[in-house]
Amino acid sequence: MLKTRYVKDIKEGEQIRDLFLVGNKTQLVSNAGKPYLNLILRDRTGQLEGRVWDRAEEIGKRFERDDIVEVTGSVLQYQGRIQVKVHDVQKATGLPPDLGNFLPVTRKGIEPLWNQLRELVKSVKDADLRKLLEAVFPDPPETETARGFRQAPGGKTMHHDYIGGLLEHTVSVALICRFLAAHYEGVDGDLLVAGALLHDVGKVEELAYEGTFDYTDEGRLLGHLYLGAERISRICGEIPEFPAGKATLLKHMILSHHGELSFGSPKRPKTLEAVLLHFVENMDAKANAFAEAMEDLREGARWSDYNRMFDRYLFSGRFEK
């Protein structure tokens, strides 16, 4: 069966029969004492709630969170939101479905972003750094790391939380760094761009993105700063005569890019390139999160809901007449 109808197009009153990713599955009991299932049904365009009122226990045993399922039901409104009254759920069978249909994906396209990243790699003239970047981001992307890097989100929920988000964030940060290398005197531009391209490489291991985004055990216990620096250390070690000092500067940029100890960096930025990378990285995450908050504005709203990342309400800039 093929996916035909996407969440963002589904309207009140429709009958649907389509594939979704199960984002969550909870068994509840109504006030009247009857068990029912509450489901989060996801595809790449968004998510909606589904409720199984009949045969909830039986149906609930057929699938788990993160499965792709075929859902039959009718669409109604609940508290101003679309909801599916689910008649039946079956686990999808046959060919493995394209995950890209079920998880949100960068709107900029993975291929165009990859091409931009490759241009950035090629802009690096320093031979050592260039070898390192080619090892991490080979073209075609035939290593596991490179494949993971193209898929991974930029974060679980805070910013760039979609397939390709890590790639999008990395390219944006590196482009700004390329600009700053020309803008400021005294910057080692190749080092800055290389650090920008590598700063979040640890997220490939920190996050799980084969279904609903989550942290891996390694991610929770070691974090992407450590994982990224260790990975770069290992790869530098495999490049003949890679200068130790250059590797140290790159690892320093990776470890310090959160800027402050209290944000999880074990060292604060101590080189000009590390200082600049921290600011650009932080700004890019915030700019993306701001854009997402504006997309999520309730209809007619000029102010966002309370935004946890910013710890404040955000303004669209539109005043009432």
Residues 73-92 interacting with a second copy (rule: CB under 8 A):
76-80, 83, 85
Looking only at residues 218 through 277 of this chain, which bind a second copy when binding is defined by CB under 8 A?
Answer: 218, 220-223, 225-226, 229-230, 233, 244-245, 248-249, 251-252, 255, 261-268, 270-273, 275-276
Residue 45 vs 271, nearer CB to a second copy: 271
Residue 148's CB: how many other CB atoms inside 10 A? 17
CA pair distance 154, 166, nearest whole angstrom: 4
Residues contacting a second copy: total by CB under 8 A: 80
CA pair distance 198, 227, nearest whole angstrom: 11
Residue 35 vs 138, nearer CB to a second copy: 35
CA pair distance 202, 233, nearest whole angstrom: 12
Looking only at residues 163 through 202 of this chain, which bind a second copy when binding is defined by CB under 8 A?
Answer: 172, 175-176, 179-180, 183-186, 188, 191
Which CA distances in Å does 134 have to 30, 118, 147, 237? 57, 9, 14, 14
Residue 13 vs 317, nearer CB to a second copy: 317
296 contacts: CB under 8 Å, gap ≥ 6: 304, 305
Looking only at residues 275 through 294 of this chain, which bind a second copy when binding is defined by CB under 8 A?
Answer: 275-276, 279-280, 282-283, 286-287, 290-291, 294
Binding segment (CB under 8 A) for a second copy, from list 97-105, 135-143, 158-166, 307-315: 307-315
Q: Which amino acid, one-letter code, is at 59?
A: I
Report the nearest approach of a second copy to the CB of residue 189 (Å): 13
How large is the greatest C-alpha to C-alpha distance in the chain, in angstroms?
Answer: 72
> By CB under 8 A, is residue 306 in contact with a second copy?
no
